């Protein structure tokens, strides 16, 4: 089965490009693929710091900034990060960068790289559409948090990790509105679609590579599983 991985842009470009991390990620992924030639991975990457910097600049310059323009700016950043990943995995990914998740249902090689599609949602939503396209029941969502918490642990020291959540419970935490540059563990619009499709989403740290290896190989892992009610 194809595994769908939503790779947070904040992992790829937290402030500057995380070169050492990308080297280690590439080594882990190649080792995973080498063990079983039938394995296939789809990565969709977010915009990270470049998206937020350009969106902040736009808001500082324009008197009445609109969400659609900010989304297009963010989408451009995801596509830049996507081309970087595609270059890194050139031997494993002979395909063009995917910018419309509804346009693909198969691919050559062992890796497919995707980026943002259109305004109104984040790359998380595109990951859900890719899971639907490839009939995968799970999206692995890698970001700069290790689990979903009852509150923002950076602001609330009493916040507690939640190992498992229903979609109804998760959506009560994040709401139903998408805003460009928001920091929800999983895009609220994507959450609605994932719930409709009865998908499972695993929220886990993108920088904990041993944990990612466990996720890829279906072993016990640290993270939050969000699933059908």
Domain ranges of the chain: 2-227
- Helix, strand, coil abundance in the chain, percent, nearest 5: 40, 15, 40
Alpha carbon of residue 196 to chain centroid: 19
Structure tokens at 93: 């990914």
d(CA 23, CA 21): 5
pLDDT, tens digit (0-9, with 9 covering 90-100), for 117-132 = 999 888 899 999 999 9
d(CA 112, CA 93): 6
Phi and psi based region of residue 207 (left: phi greater than 0; alpha: psi -120 to 50; beta: remaining): alpha
Mean pLDDT score, 89-113:
96
Q: Name the CATH topology of 2-227.
A: Carbamate kinase (3.40.1160)
Give yes or no for residue 28 having a pLDDT over 60: yes
Task: Check: CB of residue 142 under 8 Å from CB of residue 208.
Answer: no
What pLDDT score was predicted for residue 14? 94
d(CA 18, CA 159): 28
Q: Is the pTM of this model over 0.85?
A: yes
pLDDT, tens digit (0-9, with 9 covering 90-100), for 33-44 = 998 889 999 999
Q: Give the residue, 159 or 50, on which the prediction is more confident.
A: 50
d(CA 3, CA 202): 12
Q: Among 120-129, 153-162, 212-221, which range has the highest average pLDDT?
A: 212-221
């Amino acid at each position: 089965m194809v595994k769908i991985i939503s790779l947070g842009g904040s992992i790829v470009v937290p402030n500057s490009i995380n070169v050492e991390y990308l080297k280690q990620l590439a080594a882990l992924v190649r080792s995973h693929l080498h063990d079983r030639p039938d394995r296939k991975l789809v990565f969709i990457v977010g915009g990270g710091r470049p998206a937020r910097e350009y969106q902040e600049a736009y808001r500082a310059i324009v008197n009445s900034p609109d969400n659609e323009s900010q989304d297009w700016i963010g989408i451009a950043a995801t596509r830049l990060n996507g081309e970087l990943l595609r270059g890194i995995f050139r031997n494993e990914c002979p395909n063009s960068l995917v910018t419309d998740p509804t346009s693909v249902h198969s691919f050559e090689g062992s890796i497919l790289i995707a980026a943002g599609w259109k305004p109104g949602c984040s790359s998380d939503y595109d990951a859900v559409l890719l899971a639907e396209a490839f009939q995968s029941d799970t999206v692995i969502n890698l970001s700069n948090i290790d689990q979903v918490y009852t509150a923002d642990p950076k602001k609330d020291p009493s916040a507690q990790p939640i190992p498992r959540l229903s979609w109804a419970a998760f959506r009560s935490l994040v709401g139903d509105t998408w805003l460009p540059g928001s920091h929800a563990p999983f895009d609220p619009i994507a959450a609605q679609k994932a719930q409709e499709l009865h998908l499972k989403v695993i929220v886990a740290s993108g920088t904990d590579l041993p944990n990612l290896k466990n996720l890829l190989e279906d072993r016990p892992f640290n993270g939050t599983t969000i699933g059908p009610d």
